[in-house]
Each structure stands twice: as structure tokens, then as C-alpha cells.
């Protein structure tokens, strides 16, 4: 019974944090400098691993699908499969998982360390709202840079597919890009843009919640970090299914 009560209590605290962040994200003080610092930490420093992951994912997808499509004489249209797969699904999900592993864990560890060393209590004593200063800034920064990372990752993934399609299957860049442009419609792009915003909310929300509820010293920080990565990854994968279903219904795809 205590475990059940604790579970529902954590759920209530989780949503309470979200409502508090959304209620104060555009109210003063805005902590603009802190927000830009977080945009750099979340976005710019995540760029190399997102770029590497996306590029090689596009290469692998092109290589695997090209050989299979060649059996049916359709290898010339590998660009169609690569572009649709990356823009609609792989780009947002892989970027979300990479950011959850790198940024989510970092945020949980940072806030958790501040919590166990009583720095957050010190902020309250100085009249500063820790949620406003520590959570809202990361939340707003994540909403800006994670979708941007996804768009960049999509482009690099398609470029990776082009590289393999040209070097391995002899498909000209002009024909590859024609199949990509013909395949991608406004609904595909819309789906690929909406998903990163939802994943950004989930990643930052979970990471900040886990960090702020950390107890038990350094051991607790490690536990919160692990829980952040696990919970964020699960929510991204489960949420992706439901978001896809809803968008298919709304967009009539």
C-alpha cells in the first residue's frame, strides 16, 4: 500500500512540476543569459553525437534497403524509403534517445547534486524560485534546440543515404534528390517537426523531476541519473507510438 501511495504521489508531483513550469515560463524574471547557456549545453554540445548517429543511420538504412530493393528491381527508389523513414520516424526518435542519454542524464546529475548539497535550499533562502531559474530555463532551451537538432539530423541522415546510394548502387545524386523531394509531403514534414517538441518536453521534464527529488547523497545522484535515462527512453518509445497514431488520424495519412 505504501508503494502504491508513493507511486501516485510521485505522479502528482511530476504533473505539479510541469504545471508550475508552464505557468511561469514566460513570466519575469526570464533568466535569458541562463537560457542561452542551456541552449549551448543542450544543443551545441549534443551536435557531434547527433550528427554522427544520424549520418551513419542513413548510411546503414540505405545499404540494407538498397540490397533488399534490388531483388525486386526497385533499388533506384532507395531515396524514397530513406527520406520517409528518417523524417517521419528515425530522425526524431534517435535524436530524442541520444539527447535523453546525454542531456537528460546530465541535467538529472546536476540538479541532483545541487539538491543533496542543499544549493537548491540556498536559492530559496535568497528569495529565488529554483523551479523558475533551474527548470524553466532548461525547459525553454530544450524546446528550441532539440527540434533544431532533429532537423539537422534528418538532413545528415538523408545525406548519409545519398552517399551509400551513389557509391554502392550507382544512383546519381540528381535522381536520389528527385525521389526524396517527390516522396516527402507536407504531412510527413509536419509529423517530423511535431514529434521533437513532444520528446523535448518529456526529456527535460523527466530529467528535472528526477534531479529535484534526489536524496541519499552521491548514491542518490547516480540512481536519479539512471532512472532519468530509462524513464525518458521508455516515454519516447511509447509516446512515439501514440503520437504517430494521433497524427495519422489528424492529418488523414
In percent, how much of the chain has pLDDT > 90? 65
- Count of alpha carbons within 13 angstroms of residue 250, beta-carbon side: 11
47-58: average pLDDT: 95
Query: Can you tell me the mean pLDDT for 69-83?
Result: 88
Cell, residue 99: 539527447
Q: Residues 213-246: pLDDT tens digits?
A: 888 878 889 899 999 999 999 999 999 999 999 9
Confidence (pTM): 0.91
Lowest-confidence region among 3-12, 51-60, 134-143, 195-204? 3-12
pLDDT band at 1 (very low <50, low <70, confident <90, very high): low
| Helix 137-169 × helix 173-183 angle, to 10° | 130
Average pLDDT, the chain: 90
Asked, as a colleague might, if the bond just before 201 is cis with ω within 30 of 0, I would say no
pLDDT, mean of residues 55-71: 92
- Model confidence pLDDT, tens digit, residues 83-117: 999 999 999 999 999 999 999 999 999 999 999 88
Rounded Cα gap, residues 122 and 115, in angstroms: 10
| Burial 117-144, CB ≥16 within 10 A → b, else e | eeebeebeeeeeebbbebbbbbbbbbeb
Question: What pLDDT score was predicted for residue 216?
Answer: 82
Amino acid at each position: 500500500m505504501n508503494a502504491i501511495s508513493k507511486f501516485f504521489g510521485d505522479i502528482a508531483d511530476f504533473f505539479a512540476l510541469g504545471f508550475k513550469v508552464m505557468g511561469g515560463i514566460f513570466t519575469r524574471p526570464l533568466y535569458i543569459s541562463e537560457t542561452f547557456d542551456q541552449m549551448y549545453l543542450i544543443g551545441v554540445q549534443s551536435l557531434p553525437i547527433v550528427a554522427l548517429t544520424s549520418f551513419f543511420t542513413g548510411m546503414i538504412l540505405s545499404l540494407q534497403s538498397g540490397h533488399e530493393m534490388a531483388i525486386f528491381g526497385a533499388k533506384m527508389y532507395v531515396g524514397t524509403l530513406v527520406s520517409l523513414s528518417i523524417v517521419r520516424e528515425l530522425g526524431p526518435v534517435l535524436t530524442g534517445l541520444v539527447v535523453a542519454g546525454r542531456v537528460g542524464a546530465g541535467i538529472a546529475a546536476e540538479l541532483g547534486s545541487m539538491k543533496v548539497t542543499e544549493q537548491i535550499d540556498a536559492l530559496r533562502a535568497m528569495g529565488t524560485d529554483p523551479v523558475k531559474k533551474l527548470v524553466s530555463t532548461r525547459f525553454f532551451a530544450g524546446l528550441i534546440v532539440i527540434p533544431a537538432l532533429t532537423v539537422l539530423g534528418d538532413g545528415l541522415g538523408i545525406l548519409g543515404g545519398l552517399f551509400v546510394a551513389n557509391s554502392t548502387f550507382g544512383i546519381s545524386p540528381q535522381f536520389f534528390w528527385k525521389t526524396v523531394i517527390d516522396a516527402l509531403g507536407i504531412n510527413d514534414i509536419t509529423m517530423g517537426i511535431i514529434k521533437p517538441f513532444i520528446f523535448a518536453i518529456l526529456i527535460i521534464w523527466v530529467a528535472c523531476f528526477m534531479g529535484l527529488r534526489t536524496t541519499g547523497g552521491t548514491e542518490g545522484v547516480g540512481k536519479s541519473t539512471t532512472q532519468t535515462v530509462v524513464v525518458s527512453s521508455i516515454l519516447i518509445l511509447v509516446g512515439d507510438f501514440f503520437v504517430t497514431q494521433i497524427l495519422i488520424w489528424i492529418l488523414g495519412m
